[in-house]
Amino acid sequence: MLYRLCEFLVRSLIEREDELKIDRIETEKIDIFFLHVGKEDRGRVLGKGGRTIGALRTFLEGVAARLDREVVLEIVD
């Protein structure tokens, strides 16, 4: 569920959806997502001063807490 939510949120931010790739590692309690986006969309995902990626992390952490899980979201070059 967290994977699909993360994918939906990131796709709504970027222009080149075909370049989006999300690698994930799932354990019993933790989901780790590695975002691969195009160079031109990287700024959109990061946001000014990291505000957008910070908001994404906060939102996903809130949803994960309700599911008794933890989530980590990283952008990969």
- pLDDT for the residue 1: 84
- Residue 5 tokens read as 């939510």
Architecture of domain 2-75: 2-Layer Sandwich (3.30)
- pLDDT for the residue 77: 77
d(CA 38, CA 42): 6
- pLDDT for the residue 29: 92
- pLDDT for the residue 61: 94
d(CA 71, CA 65): 9
* pLDDT tens, N- to C-terminus, the chain (77 residues): 889 999 999 999 999 888 899 999 999 999 999 999 988 889 889 989 999 999 999 999 999 999 999 999 999 97
φ, ψ of residue 34 to 5 degrees: the values are -115, 115
Torsion of CA 62, 66, 72, 75, to 10 degrees: -50
3-state SS, residue 13? helix
